[in-house]
Amino acid sequence: MKSIIRLAAVFCVLFSAAVLRAEKPVNTTFTGVAIKGYDPVAYFTAAKPVKGSADFKHEWNGAEWRFASAANRDLFKAEPVKYAPQFGGYCAWAVSRGYTAGIDPDAWKIVNGRLYLNYSAKVQAQWAENISGNIQKGEENWPKILKD
């Protein structure tokens, strides 16, 4: 009986590790909410991070996106690619280095009309030392990251 329990435990650990390694095209919480529930449109319209509401949500690209208002939700629905963060909402610095990492919604920047998020203010400062070069590296790495 103990060997069956051990075998089941090993299977669960291996299966969980495989699931955790499988990156999603959009950075979500365990509940499937994109960018920690922050409103992607607000970065453009309010020039700051604003927490979204479950009252104003939209499903897109395998994730639930939340918004501060119906107007922001409708803007996103009309042009999701315009407002969604680059690299699926994963840390732009990490993607430029060939891997993914979570984000801090307060570590953000809009560059050439595109939203980029970073892991922290410290990481964002490193990313900002060569924004165009890091964006280029990220764009090269992103398709590879999605395949792995």
Which residues, in sequence order, are CB contacts of 138 under 8 Å at separation 6+? Answer: 86, 87, 92, 95, 96
Residue 57 above 70 pLDDT? Answer: yes
Cα angle vertex 33, ends 16, 95, to 5°? Answer: 70
Q: How confident is the model at residue 30 (pLDDT cuts 50, 70, 90)?
A: confident
Q: Is 67 left (phi over 0), alpha (psi -120 to 50) or beta?
A: beta
The mean pLDDT of the chain is 88
Tokens of 78: 């009309």
Q: Which of 15-24, 37-46, 49-58 has the lowest mean pLDDT?
A: 15-24
In the block, which residue shows the tokens 């922290």?
120
Q: Are 111 and 127 in contact (CB under 8 A)?
A: no
pTM (two decimals):
0.83
How large is the average pLDDT for residues 7-19?
Answer: 38
Report the alpha-carbon distance of residue 103 to residue 32 in Å, rounded.
Answer: 15
Question: pLDDT tens digits, residue range 65-117?
Answer: 999 999 999 999 999 999 999 999 999 999 999 999 999 999 999 999 999 99
What is the residue extent of each domain of the chain? 25-83, 85-148
How large is the average pLDDT for residues 23-51?
Answer: 92
Q: Are 68 and 44 in contact (CB under 8 A)?
A: no
